[in-house]
Amino acid sequence: MIDRQLRALGLQPRPPPLGRLGAVAPVPFVGLATILVALIVFTPVLIASGPSPLAVEGYLYVYRGTGSTLTDFEVAAYDQEVPYDWLNLSVGTGFAWDGRCPTSALNWTYLNETDALVANRLTGANPVVVNATAVYVQGGSRTVYAGELAFDLVGQNSSSESLVYAPCPWTPGVSSPGSWSVTLGTDPFPLVNYGSGGPP
């Protein structure tokens, strides 16, 4: 309408300004090209089967309520809706704590679960060694997550109640020695990804 009025007055309408992109590519096609690029980049992620590697990663979760007589150990995935083919949660007792994983023979109790989301054990023993293994199978590919740590409770029923822990040397990389105040809630320990094999 404005262009017609300008022509009636003998004036030429001003051409619309072209930005740098408009000079190279017609503006209506830029949006379409952006959508196509996004589809190319994100489609493999959107149609990938199964959970992501981060969701599948195995964890040993440790929880002890302040003043409780029991410590709760649990093996599950980062995404706790991921099922494992096999889970093992073993607790070893019968040793004196010296800040390290014991080398002497232990008294073990074993818990094995197949096709499960979680393996869980409550224990009042102290100190303990906990061995955790989670085996995930997807499309014929097997991934083993594992770790073994020793725990000792200090300052029981006090404001400084905490668990001190040390990784066992035969599962390197599971954690560094440290301590955790039970008032902080659940402490997650990522298990080591051993690929299709298992701990040495």
32-70 per-position pLDDT tens digit? 667 777 667 666 555 556 678 788 999 999 999 988 999
The pLDDT of residue 161 is 93
Distance of CA 138 to the CA centre of its chain: 17
15-41 per-position pLDDT tens digit? 555 555 555 556 566 666 677 776 676
Among 1-5, 43-47, 183-187, which stretch is predicted with the lowest mean pLDDT?
Answer: 43-47
Please give the Cα distance from 72 to 99 (Å, whole number).
Answer: 21
131-145 per-position pLDDT tens digit? 999 999 998 899 999
Q: For the chain, which residues make up each domain, given as ranges?
A: 2-47, 53-193
The pLDDT of residue 21 is 53
Please give the Cα distance from 132 to 111 (Å, whole number).
Answer: 10
Beta-carbon count within 10 A of 194 CB: 18
Considering only residues 34 and 130, tell me which one the structure prediction assigns the higher pLDDT.
Answer: 130
The pLDDT of residue 166 is 95
Please give the Cα distance from 149 to 165 (Å, whole number).
Answer: 7
Rg from Cα positions in the chain: 29
| Res. 164 pLDDT band, cuts 50 70 90 | very high
Segment holding 108, helix H or strand E: strand 107-116
73-114 per-position pLDDT tens digit? 999 999 989 999 999 999 999 999 999 999 888 999 999 999
Sheet architecture: strand order including 71-77: 118-123, 71-77, 58-63, 187-190
